[in-house]
Amino acid sequence: MLGLWGQRFPSVWVLLLLPFLPLLLPAAPASHSASYKPVIVVHGLFDSSYSFRHLLEYINETHPGTVVTVLDLFDGRESLRPLWEQVQGFREAVVPIMAKAPEGVHLICYSQGGLVCRALLSVMDEHNVDSFISLSSPQMGQYGDTDYLKWLFPTSMRSNLYRICYSPWGQEFSICNYWHDPHHDDLYLNASSFLALINGERDHPNATAWRKNFLRVGRLVLIGGPDDGVITPWQSSFFGFYDANETVLEMEEQLVYLRDSFGLKTLLARGAIVRCPMAGIAHTAWHSNRTLYETCIEPWLS
**Distances from the Cα of 156 to the Cαs of 140, 145, 150, 169, in angstroms?**
22, 9, 7, 15
Q: CB under 8 Å to 61, separation ≥6 — which residues?
A: none
Per annotation, catalytic residue among 111, 137, 237, 261? 111
183 is catalytic: no
Nearest CA to 211 among 223, 197, 221?
197
Per annotation, catalytic residue among 228, 236, 237, 287? 228
Q: CB under 8 Å to 173, separation ≥6 — which residues?
A: 80, 82, 152, 165
Per annotation, catalytic residue among 127, 184, 283, 287? 283
228 is catalytic: yes
136 is catalytic: no
CA distance 269 to 266: 5
Active site residues: 111, 228, 283
